[in-house]
Chain A
Amino acid sequence: MGQQTIKMISANDLLVETLHLKNNGYRLVAITCTNKNGMELSYSFDKDYDLLNLRFVTDTEEEISSVSIIYPFSFLYENEIKELFGVNIKDISIDFNNTLYKIPMKTPFNRKEGDE
């Protein structure tokens, strides 16, 4: 299998780093969020079967820029993360405003005490 690399970045550098990868022929293949010690976002890119992951940790307060300005099809990944985790992703090309999955509870992957 190809290489797997994780590159830690800051949330502010996301668009610059993503644009750099796009210009170098990388394909966005997934965006993943893990809620453990903060919201850990991993943006996975493929080139020649090698997987490069841009990663940063954030919280639900911080505004995260949508990469849909660079990869327009990222809107599905970003809507999913916004709805399931409550990550504050701004300017998604098609923003479903937390109705992608139409689930009855808010942010199931980020439940707080007292949430219904």
Chain B
Amino acid sequence: MGKRTVIPFGPQHPVLPEPIHLDLVLEDEIVVEAIPRIGYIHRGLEKLVEKKDFQQYTYVAERICGICSFMHGMGYCMTIESIMEVKIPERAEFLRTIWAELSRMHSHLLWMGLLADAFGFESLFMQSWRLREQILDIFEETTGGRVIFSVCDIGGVRRDINSETLNKIVGVLDGLEKEFKEMTEVFINDTSVKARTKGVGVLSKQAASDLGAVGPMARASGVEMDMRTQGYSAYGQLKFEPIIEIAGDSYARTSVRIREIFQSIDLIKQCVTLIPEGDIKIKVSGNPNGEYFTRIEQPRGEVIYYGKANGTKFLDRLRVRTPTFANVPALLETLKGCALADVPILILTIDPCISCTER
């Protein structure tokens, strides 16, 4: 047995966009155990349901995360709508799906840039983020915001997208798809990228399932789980299959996210073809009374919203189980046995969002 050393990793580190701390127990250069520490950016957002009424909280929910902002607003609204047994207009369901898939694209592109930056491929990092800008431009044109959109509301959405803009979005996505294909070649075939990702941080299907992994982290290990297949919003009317890889390594997790970007482009195009005319919002009156668990698929995986209401305008409880919260144990497992130099890449391959995790 080599000499054991404990190396503190984080909370500030060049590859970490947000603070998380790990105590890495090493034998020589190999990690034998990792103990996580969070708590640097806990904001008490769940507690705020006591001070913001259920309508106002929509905008707080969006602020749980700057990347999944739309989906947090959407998941929260779906929870309240389910408690109140509100059926929103079909056009609103399609619009929510379009914005949700655009969110997935920009989240995955952001992550690809961060991964490239982590292994020192700076031009790849810049190309990833350059493509992401096009998605943010679409958000700005359709919602008025690039990070926080405030378009999701209880009962539907607050803004429509006319057919001319929808066709324009399809045109932008066609161009982006072509450029993205070229960039994908580097992530998939470049020798130096493969050297840093292939066979690194393998998570078996059994371990992914036992450790409660979700999203691309689980699907890259062969776990067929994607909440979109349950048909919420407009997904029930779209044709798609969950993206699955079986290798369970960092390369597989990269591959899943790349394929999901192509899938999102396809889903948005299907939405543009199928979106019906009609209202985008219905009036919701009264206060919620009851409880409901909503489960949707964010870019990082399954997120669960639990809402409990008491008939007043203030909820008794809102609980958000975010995907990174679920993926931390799987991260700890993949770190065991890896080289110290691979730790930054492995932390990134779960696509950690610490703001979400701590709320």
Which of B150-158, B180-188, B256-264, B300-308 lies at the interface with chain A? B300-308
Q: For chain B, what secondary structure do more than half of its interface residues adopt (helix, strand, loop), or is it mixed? A: mixed
Q: Which residues 194-236 of B have a CB within 8 angstroms of A? A: 209, 211-212, 227, 229-232
Give chain A interface residues in 82-98, CB to chain B under 8 Å: 94, 96
Pair A27/B293 contact, Cβ less than 8 Å: no
Establish whether residues B304 and A29, one from each chain, have CB atoms under 8 Å apart when the complex forms: yes
A59 vs B199: C-alpha distance in the bound complex, in angstroms?
48
Do the beta carbons of B44 and A108 come within 8 Å of each other? Answer: yes
In the complex, the answer to whether A28 meets B212 with C-beta atoms within 8 Å is: yes
In the bound assembly, the distance between CA atoms of A36 and B229 in angstroms comes to 34
Q: Mark B230-259, 1 if CB is under 8 A from A, else 0.
A: 111000000000000000000000000000
Query: In the complex the two chains form, is A101's CB within 8 Å of B39's CB?
Result: yes
Q: Name the CB-closest residue of A to B321.
A: A30
Residues of B within 8 A of A108 (CB): 44, 47
* Closest partner residue, chain A, to B319 (CB atom): A32
Known: A4-B293, A101-B39, A108-B47. A76 touches B328 (CB 8 A): yes
Bound form: Cα–Cα A102–B229 in Å: 38
Number of A-B contacts (CB under 8 A): 70
Q: Tally chain B residues at the interface, Cβ within 8 Å.
A: 34
A36 to nearest B CB, angstroms? 5
Distance, CA A28 to CA B212, complexed state (A): 7
List chain B residues, Cβ under 8 A from A76: 325, 328-329
In this complex, the member of A1, A28, A42, A53 whose beta carbon has the largest number of chain B beta carbons within 10 angstroms is A1
In the assembled complex, the Cα of A28 lies from the Cα of B232 at a distance in Å of 22
Contacts A36-B316, A44-B293, A51-B293 given; does A101 touch B306 at CB 8 Å: no
A interface residues, tally (CB under 8 Å): 29
Q: Which residues 36-92 in A have Cβ within 8 Å of B in the complex?
A: 36, 42, 44, 49, 51, 53, 71-73, 76
A6 and B212 alpha carbons, distance in the complex (Å): 20
Say yes or no for B42: interface residue by CB 8 A criterion.
yes
Residues of chain A from 17 to 32 with CB closer than 8 A to chain B in the complex: 27-30, 32
Instruction: Output the nearest chain B residue to A35 by Cβ-Cβ distance.
Output: B317
B212 touches A4 (CB 8 A): no
| CB-CB nearest in chain A for B304 | A30
Which B303-359 residues have C-beta < 8 A from chain A?
304, 306, 308, 310, 316-317, 319, 321, 325-326, 328-330, 358
In the complex, chain A residues whose CB is within 8 Å of the CB of B329: 72-73, 76
The reply on B132 being an interface residue by CB < 8 A is no
Q: Which residues of B contact A101 (CB under 8 A)?
A: 38-39, 42, 358
Residues of A contacting B293 in the complex (Cβ-Cβ under 8 angstroms): 4, 44, 51, 53
- In the assembled complex, how far is the CB of residue A1 from the closest CB belonging to chain B, in whole angstroms? 5
What is the distance, in angstroms, from A46's C-beta to the closest C-beta of chain B? Answer: 8
Residues of B within 8 A of A (CB): 35, 37-40, 42, 44, 47, 209, 211-212, 227, 229-232, 292-293, 295, 302, 304, 306, 308, 310, 316-317, 319, 321, 325-326, 328-330, 358
Sample of 6 further A-B pairs with CB below 8 A, known A1-B230, A49-B229: A1-B295, A42-B306, A49-B227, A73-B330, A108-B47, A109-B47
